[in-house]
Every structure is written in structure tokens, then in C-alpha cells.
Amino acid sequence: MKIVYKKNKNITTSVRPHSSCNVVEMIWGAIVKRKVLVFSFLFLLVTLPILYLVIKYQSPIQAAWFDDTFAYRQTVAITNAGTAQTDFQVAITLNTSALITAGKMQSDCDDIRITDINGKILPHWIEESNPGCNQTTTKIWTKAPSI
């Protein structure tokens, strides 16, 4: 049985009397809501720890590297306290003797690569007579695009 009455000319409201069908619908609705709530809780219980571990143990971001087969690289920070310089020659003093002894570098320093922060290879040269490769104070010169 359906009772219909008009409140305004534009709004029609319908009212149903209680029946056994409505009770079943209410119970079924409650069961569905409970299942959705339990599923949502289990979903959060599983995904939140995974998300936490992914964020906690993410690998650090490093500058691009031109060749991943190089097993060892070392960061040398070049700073400038004065005015900005472009195409400036910079001397880097490096203990190549220790790196060669540790097996991280070839004995002729032929595997040295110098890159900028974006991974672009910069030209460089080693001062051979002052003191040269395989020394504790090997002087390497490079031309930095900007400092």
C-alpha cells in the first residue's frame, strides 16, 4: 500500500507503511554496511604498514650517473664564496694512491670521470709532474661550467 499526498504543487512525498519486506531490507543494508566497514578496516590494516615501510626505507636520490658499471664514485663539493664564475678551471686534490691500493681505481688513473650535478661529463686533466697519478696529493683540473 502506498500513500501519496501533496505538500506543494511541485513536491510529492510518498510514505510506505512498515512491512516485513522493509525489515529484511534494513537488515540486509546493515549487513552490507558492516561488511564494507570490516573490509575497509582490513584494507587499511594491510596497506598502512606497507606504505610506512616503503616511505621509511626508500633509497636516497642521487645525481644522474653516466655509466652504472662504475662501481665506485666520490663526491667532491666545489663551492664559491665570491662572485659567480663561468667556465672556471678548478683544481681538485685527490688521494689516488689510496684508491688504487683499495682496488677502486686503475693504476694509471685512466678511469677518472668528473661530472656536474646533472651527470654530464666535464673535461679534466691530471698534472703529471706535480705529483702525478698514484700519489697522495694527485692534482686534477677540470673546467666547471659555473660556480
Q: Rounded distance, CA 114 to CA 43, Å? A: 48
Domain that holds residue 115: 86-146
Q: Which helix (H) or strand (E) holds 136?
A: none
pTM over 0.85: no
User: Looking at the predicted structure, is the pLDDT value of residue 41 above 90?
Assistant: yes
10: in domain? yes
Q: Rounded distance, CA 31 to CA 42, Å? A: 16
Q: Rounded distance, CA 146 to CA 80, Å? A: 10
Report the percent of the chain where pLDDT is more than 70.
Answer: 81
Number of domains in the chain: 2
Identify the pLDDT of residue 101. 94
| Alpha helices per DSSP H over 57-104 | 96-101
Q: Which residue has the higher pLDDT, 4 or 115?
A: 115
Identify the pLDDT of residue 146. 86
135: in domain? yes
95: in domain? yes
Identify the pLDDT of residue 89. 92
